[in-house]
Amino acid sequence: MGGELEIFAWTFALVFLTELGDKTQLAVLALSLKGNRVLVLLGAFLAFSLINGLSSAFGYLLFTFIPPCLLRLASGIAFVLVGVAGLALELTARGEEGAEPGPGGKPSLLGSFTLVSLAELGDKTQLATISSSALTGSALVVALAAISALTAMTALTCALGGRLAGRLHGRKAGLVAYAIFLVAGALTLVWPD
């Protein structure tokens, strides 16, 4: 492949487009419906930096030693569990329709970081980063492009979540958010590679 700028542009476009409709994007949307979108964006950025930095630097080794099917299974199960537990909590919560959920109901920086990190493991954007790094040998450029693309997509998704959250309040927002987690987990488990 060509120069560093070409590698950056190619990787950015590849990762940005593969993130459209991805389970990570759905997770970010769900988190942004529940609370502070700045914390969601920052947590996601840190997760992208960690996961895609490691993927780019050690991508080929990770791809060789950890079967993607196991990572996908763990990620899908985590999403389904979060969705089921969250829906159960929202449905059994007492109080008014517009009431905010109790402690732990809003996403934290650590919660966003953890969930997005799990969602990215074995994800198509991680595999795109691994492939791009392996093909070009430019681990740093690929990592920066992937992190930039995912952060741009996350910022757009958080903005969408902010608009939706303005229309959905209290328990409705929680139900929609956890239903998204449940759907994302189910799709992760059954969608063909």
pLDDT of 166: 60
pLDDT of 104: 47
pLDDT of 102: 37
Q: Enter the tokens of residue 136.
A: 């070009």
pLDDT digits (tens, 9 = 90+) for 91-117: 776 554 444 443 345 667 888 888 888
DSSP 18: H
Residue 130's pLDDT band (cuts 50, 70, 90): confident
How much is the average pLDDT of 154-179? 70
pLDDT digits (tens, 9 = 90+) for 21-48: 677 877 788 788 776 788 888 998 999 9
Q: For residues 40 and 108, give the distance between their C-alpha atoms in angstroms, rounded to a whole number.
A: 7
Q: For residues 150 and 28, give the distance between their C-alpha atoms in angstroms, rounded to a whole number.
A: 11
| Contact call for residues 43 and 172 (beta carbons, < 8 A) | no
| Contact call for residues 146 and 48 (beta carbons, < 8 A) | yes
- Which residues, including other chains, have CB under 8 Å from residue 77's CB and lie 6 or more apart? 185, 189
pLDDT digits (tens, 9 = 90+) for 60-71: 555 556 566 775
Q: For residues 173 and 178, give the distance between their C-alpha atoms in angstroms, rounded to a whole number.
A: 9
Give the predicted TM-score (pTM) of the model: 0.65
Rg (CA), the chain: 17
Q: For residues 84 and 91, give the distance between their C-alpha atoms in angstroms, rounded to a whole number.
A: 10
Residue 181, CB-side half-sphere exposure with 13 Å CA sphere: 28
Mean pLDDT of the chain: 75
| Contact call for residues 57 and 139 (beta carbons, < 8 A) | yes
Token look-up 């139900």 returns: 175
Q: For residues 1 and 6, give the distance between their C-alpha atoms in angstroms, rounded to a whole number.
A: 8
Among 68-82, 93-107, 118-132, where is mean pLDDT lowest?
Answer: 93-107
